[in-house]
Structure 1
Amino acid sequence: MIKVASYNMRKSIGTDRRRRPERTLAVLGEIDADVIALQEADRRFGERTAVLSDHLLGHHGAWKAIPLGIRQRSMGWHGNALLIRADAQVLDCEAIHLPTLEPRGAVVADVRVRGQVIRVVGMHLDLSGLWRRRQAHAIIAHLAASTRQYPTVLMGDLNEWSASGGCLRDFAAHFEFAETGKSFHARKPIARLDRIMASRDLEFTEAGVHDSPASRTASDHLPVWATVRPA
């Protein structure tokens, strides 16, 4: 089994309005996932510098960032980043350019974790329902056009308040959703904005929201997680 997680880390600015990357890493350590999709992982302006620096990740030692190589000092693409276990192998990776009015994107990587290869997509979709659906269609089409197919996990902040409509309906035509739970707002969760999905050659064995004293203050979103295995 492989444990995956998704976390809108809000540039490591917590509900106390303090930027503390070490606290973000502490939350990730509590989850202890094999593959992690991060949103808002880079600073917003200027060089879009990674909030979790190579030094911090190296000191922690559990994970490494998948190098997209788009911006020299960024970890991801429009704030989307992927972390994997330090002993996992990256087979391929790329950014997915999404139709949008504001900076949005997705990232995809093929990784080998304990001998199993999976494709992982991290995303942060638009605030507009119309653009969310266009972005969902772009991601689905990008995956379908790949010459090589792998069992696939999609994760991220979908910004979808509907229970089953909008982009959720589009994704549900191709993927199964994990029953994670409400992740926003971290202090009093009322919405399932953060989602994990998988292709139908995978099955979820467990899923949930990581709610701890640290996660309730580290960001305005709680992390979501799931374990998957071949169906």
Structure 2
Amino acid sequence: MFKVASYNMHKAVGLDRRRSPERILDVLREIDADVIALQEADRRFGAREGVLPPHLLDEHSDWKAIAFGMRAASMGWHGNAILVRKAATVEWCQPIHLPSLEPRGAVTADVRFDGAPPLRVVGMHLDLSGLWRRRQAAAVMAHVEAAPEPRPAVLMGDLNEWSQAAGCLRDFARCYRIAATGPSFHASRPVGRLDRIMTSPGLRVVDCGVHASPTARRASDHLPIWAVIDG
């Protein structure tokens, strides 16, 4: 079994309007997941610099950021990043270019833990527009299917979709199971299930939820979600 998490970290700016990468790292330590998909992990303008300094991860965490080679100062691609345990092996990784009016992207990687079969992980942050979300969901699924080797897959991220019965979630549900993690937005009073974890057939969600510690309630406008997966 392994634990995954997804977190829109809001560029590490909390509800107190203070930017604190250290606080984000505290939240990640509380969750203690094997794989973490981050959204809004890079600054929006200029060099798109990563918000979590590399030395902070190297010296004060159990994770490493997967390098996608898109921008020298960025953690990932259009703010999407994937963290994995330092002992994990990354066998393959790619950015995913998404159709959009504003810059959007996703990231994917094949990760292996302790000799177990590799797992394909996708992190994404979809558009505010329902039409573009559906196009982006189709692009993500097509990219996963076209990857070099078939793998069990976990798709995670901020989908910006309020209803599971419609839009991109209905599209994803044709091929993936959607974990019942719970409302994660807004962190001060969670009512929206905007953040999602989805698994391919063959993987089983043993447990899942929303991480709502006092620190998490202050660190971002989203709460992180998590799932324990067998398979």
TM-score of Structure 1 vs Structure 2, range by shorter chain: over 0.9
1:18-57 to structure 2, matched below 5 A, reads: 18-57=18-57
SS at match of 1:17: coil
Task: Show the counterpart of 2:75.
Answer: 75
Residues matched between the structures, number: 230
> Is residue 142 of structure 1 aligned with residue 143 of structure 2?
yes
SS at match of 1:77: coil
Distance (Å, rounded) in 2 between the aligned partners of 1:74 and 1:140 = 25
Task: Show the counterpart of 1:195.
Answer: 196
1:73-222 to structure 2, matched below 5 A, reads: 73-116=73-116, 117-222=118-223
One-letter amino acid of the counterpart of residue 17, structure 2: R
Distance (Å, rounded) in 2 between the aligned partners of 1:37 and 1:210 = 14
Tell me the TM-score normalised to structure 1 length: 0.98
Q: Deviations over 1:70-112 (max 9, x none)?
A: 1001001000000000111100000000000011110000000
Task: Show the counterpart of 1:15.
Answer: 15
SS at match of 2:38: strand
One-letter amino acid of the counterpart of residue 82, structure 1: I
Give the CA deviation at 1:22: 0.1
Runs of 4+ residues over 6 Å off in structure 1 = none
One-letter amino acid of the counterpart of residue 216, structure 1: R
One-letter amino acid of the counterpart of residue 85, structure 1: R
SS at match of 2:150: coil
How well do the aligned residues superpose, as a CA RMSD in angstroms?
Answer: 0.7
SS at match of 1:139: helix
SS at match of 1:227: strand
Distance (Å, rounded) in 1 between the aligned partners of 2:102 and 2:130 = 13
Structure 2 stretches lacking a partner, 5+ long: none
One-letter amino acid of the counterpart of residue 155, structure 1: M
Give the CA deviation at 1:113: 1.5
Distance (Å, rounded) in 1 between the aligned partners of 2:58 and 2:145 = 35
One-letter amino acid of the counterpart of residue 184, structure 1: F
Distance (Å, rounded) in 1 between the aligned partners of 2:27 and 2:148 = 36
Tell me the TM-score normalised to structure 2 length: 0.98
Distance (Å, rounded) in 2 between the aligned partners of 1:113 and 1:100 = 34
One-letter amino acid of the counterpart of residue 224, structure 1: I
Indicate conservation of the 8 Å contact 2:29/2:61, yes or no. Answer: no
SS at match of 1:184: coil
